[in-house]
């Protein structure tokens, strides 16, 4: 009898028999397919078969295979007594020797009598019925080692006549595997708990956008349970449904992709797509984490609207507070204009005295214009970003106003370096910075009074200070400083502290000052000392150097001989402009009604070389007049003169406006703008027309 005969008698599970057969076939111990079989052996198969010398070699090899098997293998006779046991089986029986195990039953070696009886009854049923079992799971307590888990397979062994003579048992210990399974299940429960605790939407999809798992927030948003959502296709898998979705890019690049998406329902979401890769680096799925930020966007928009409203409110409040000072200064300015103008009506004075009085009138008028510009800036009617500003002049006018509005117990001192260059910021915003700083200083001294000092100097800052300030970089800056004698505190003042309430003059503390400075490449820092007060420094970048020569006088203004039409609904303005232009050599036709001016122009569009018009006029505004004129002659250069000329600056070129001339203007300014507009790349007409002087 050879091994193939023995294996044929094993009625065990097919995979076990097959593995044993394959192992023996590899060693040439099984008959070749179709070879004659040797059936001459003893048909009985009792406890003596292992000692048969005919099978000594084969049994030795079979023992070797079984001894090195990772499974616990044993053979029992019909009385459930051990007649073979593998090495692993002996180790499992607390190191019992072969002699000790031979002929023993489970009752002899197991401490748990109930377990021994269970094994015995199961085995006797197999021997009686011939029906074994495969991978039956057992959980056995083993002393201090805790619970042991194994899968047991037991099948009958038959002799040549088919009689059951014993059974084969195979135990596969899976304690560690079960422990890992339990740990994995616990980890899955923890993961699910953590994911369900996240309010963001978290979903894991394969590369075909099929949902593998998701958290409860995502499932609820999709109107399904966690079990229902698994295996579904993403409802936004079509590009037209969610065109900004980062999924495809994450799969294509293998990198994290983050962006905002805007679904058709009007909401706003931030989405982060994290690619998941296998061991070879291939993308096998994507974890998407989405957050609804609609409310955040709405809050930001509302905050911006509120800030804009606060700025407008602060400007108007400041105007109200400073109205008394403005009225006082305007009266002081208008007094010499009125007085000197009346004196000019008297012809008893010489030429030199009359010229001096005229110069005083011009100087007072210029002061009035600067003051009006400051009022417009506070009212939000001036583009504070336009042009460069010398802070010295702004400080002079602001201090004049503040002295009339601050309590008398606060003394204002100035330490202004008149050599400081211009800064790249509009006068309105410089004024706003200065008033904000002085308002904070006055608030700090509201109880005990003291000295408020305004300083201006030019300085150089290095990279370290520029980084601390968040400024544009190292270089030349103008430093505007305001010092108070309030209670103060010890040490440098943090940026966040610059936004505390500062009284009725403040918009929202010095946050406005910091915002304006940062917008122009500057920065703010502050230092405070207890019982000594606080000093706040505002650094503004120095503007590039320009020609600082004085503006031309009326006698030095560039002359001309072209024909100019002047249109303004204020007769005094048209008369003044006509006289100025005539003095410069131009031919002028002036009209106070824009409709009449358009009728004259229609009769002969080539009769003028330049149109100067006001913006705010009845019947036809300046913009409407320009459109009508250009419909007849598109190449005519146009200058718009207005007290709010900046309001036209954004689309002036599109409207066909060559230059803007803010009111009030001097003769030199008028001459410069007219000459520049005429000398530009435009074609001028020729010929005469009515109304010329």
Tell me what pLDDT residue 18 has. 59
Which residue in the block uniquely carries the two structure tokens 């605790």? 197
The answer to whether 549 touches 594, Cβ cutoff 8 Å, is: no
Cβ atoms within 10 Å of 170's Cβ, excluding its own: 23
Answer yes or no: is pLDDT of 348 > 80: no
% of the chain exceeding 70 in pLDDT:
70
Residues sharing a CB contact under 8 Å with residue 21, sequence separation 6 or more, in sequence order = 4, 7, 30
Which distant-in-sequence residues (6+ apart) come within 8 Å of 406 by Cβ? Answer: 412, 438, 442, 452
Residue 288 CA to residue 210 CA, distance in Å, equals 12
**For residue 669, with 0-12 CB atoms within 10 Å meaning exposed, 13-18 middle and 19 or more buried, which class applies?**
middle
DSSP, collapsed to helix, strand or coil, labels residue 660 as strand
Greater confidence (87 vs 601) lies with: 601
**249-284 pLDDT, tens digit each:** 888 899 999 888 887 777 888 889 999 999 889 999
Nearest to 27 by CA among 3, 49, 51: 3
Q: Supply 644's token pair.
A: 């709010």
Contacts of 436 (CB under 8 A, 6+ apart): 502, 505, 506, 507, 510, 512, 513
CA-based angle 346:349:351, to the nearest 5?
115
Per-residue confidence band for 39, with pLDDT thresholds at 50, 70 and 90: very low
* Residue-level pLDDT at 590: 94
- Please give the order of strands across the beta sheet that includes 563-567: 587-591, 563-567, 610-614, 638-642, 659-662
The region of weakest confidence among 54-68, 385-399, 404-418, 511-525 is 54-68
> For residue 112, what pLDDT band results from cuts at 50, 70 and 90?
confident
Give residue 305's pLDDT band: very low, low, confident or very high (50, 70, 90): confident
Are 594 and 567 in contact by the 8 Å Cβ rule? The answer is: yes
Q: Mind listing the pLDDT tens digit for each residue in 509-541? A: 577 788 889 988 999 998 887 767 889 999 999
CA distance 238 to 311: 46
């Amino acid at each position: 009898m050879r091994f193939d005969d023995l294996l044929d008698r094993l009625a065990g599970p097919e995979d076990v028999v097959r593995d044993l057969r394959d192992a023996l076939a590899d060693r040439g111990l099984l008959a070749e397919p179709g070879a004659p079989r040797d059936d001459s052996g003893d048909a009985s198969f009792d406890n003596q078969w292992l000692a048969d010398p005919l099978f000594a070699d084969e049994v030795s090899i079979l023992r070797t295979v079984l001894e090195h098997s990772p499974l616990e293998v044993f053979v029992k006779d019909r009385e459930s007594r051990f007649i073979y046991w593998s090495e692993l089986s002996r180790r499992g029986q607390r190191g019992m020797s072969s002699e000790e195990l031979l002929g023993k039953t489970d009752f002899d070696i197991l401490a748990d009598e109930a377990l021994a009886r269970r094994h015995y009854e199961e085995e006797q049923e197999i021997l009686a019925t011939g029906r074994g079992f495969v991978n039956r799971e057992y959980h056995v307590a083993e002393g201090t080692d805790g619970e042991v888990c194994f899968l047991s397979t037991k099948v009958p062994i038959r002799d040549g006549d088919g009689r059951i003579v014993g059974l084969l048992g195979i135990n596969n210990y899976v304690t560690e595997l079960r422990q890992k399974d339990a740990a994995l299940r616990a980890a899955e429960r923890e993961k699910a708990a953590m994911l369900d605790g996240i309010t963001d939407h978290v979903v894991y999809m394969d590369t075909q956008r099929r949902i593998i798992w998701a958290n409860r927030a995502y499932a609820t948003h999709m109107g399904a349970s966690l079990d229902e959502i698994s295996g579904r296709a993403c409802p936004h898998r079509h590009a037209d449904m969610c065109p900004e979705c980062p999924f495809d890019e994450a799969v294509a690049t293998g990198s994290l992709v983050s962006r905002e998406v805007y679904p058709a329902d009007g909401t706003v979401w931030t989405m982060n797509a994290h690619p998941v890769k296998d061991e070879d680096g291939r993308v096998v799925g994507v974890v998407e984490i989405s957050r609804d930020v609609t409310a955040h966007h709405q809050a930001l928009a509302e905050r911006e609207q509120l800030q804009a409203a606060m700025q407008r409110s602060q400007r108007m409040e400041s105007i109200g507070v400073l109205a008394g000072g403005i009225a006082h200064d305007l009266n002081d300015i208008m007094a010499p204009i009125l007085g000197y103008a009346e004196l000019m009506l008297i012809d008893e004075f010489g030429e030199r005295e009359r010229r001096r009085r005229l110069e005083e009138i011009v100087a007072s008028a210029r002061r009035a214009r600067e003051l009006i510009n400051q009022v417009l800036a506070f009212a939000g009617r001036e583009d504070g970003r336009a042009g460069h500003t010398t802070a010295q002049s702004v400080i002079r006018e602001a201090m004049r106003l503040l002295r009339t509005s601050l309590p008398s117990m606060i003394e204002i001192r100035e330490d202004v370096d008149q050599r400081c260059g211009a800064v790249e910021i509009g006068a309105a915003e410089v004024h706003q910075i200065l008033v904000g700083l002085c308002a904070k200083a006055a608030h700090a001294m509201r109880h005990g009074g003291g000295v408020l000092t305004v300083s201006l100097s030019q300085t150089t800052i290095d990279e370290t200070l520029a980084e601390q300030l968040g400024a544009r970089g190292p270089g030349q800056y103008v430093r505007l400083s305001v010092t108070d004698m309030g209670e103060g505190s010890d040490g440098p003042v943090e940026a966040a502290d610059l936004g505390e309430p500062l009284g009725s003059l403040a918009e929202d503390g010095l946050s406005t000052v910091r915002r304006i400075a940062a917008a122009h490449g500057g920065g703010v820092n502050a230092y405070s000392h207890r019982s000594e007060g606080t000093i706040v420094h505002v650094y503004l970048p120095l503007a590039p150097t320009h020609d600082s020569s004085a503006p031309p006088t009326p006698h030095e203004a560039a002359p001309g001989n072209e024909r100019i039409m002047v249109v303004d609904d204020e007769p005094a303005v048209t008369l003044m402009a006509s006289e100025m232009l005539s003095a410069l050599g131009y031919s002028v036709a002036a009209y106070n009604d824009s409709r009449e001016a358009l009728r004259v122009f229609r009769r002969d569009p080539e009769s003028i070389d330049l149109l100067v018009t006001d913006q705010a006029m009845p019947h036809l505004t300046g913009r409407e007049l320009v459109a009508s004129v250009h419909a007849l002659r598109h190449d005519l250069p146009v200058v718009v003169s207005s007290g709010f000329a900046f309001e036209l600056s954004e689309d002036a070129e599109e409207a066909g406006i060559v230059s803007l001339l803010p009111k009030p203007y001097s003769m030199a300014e008028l001459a410069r703008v007219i000459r520049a507009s005429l000398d530009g790349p435009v074609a001028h007409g020729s010929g005469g027309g009515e109304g010329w002087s």
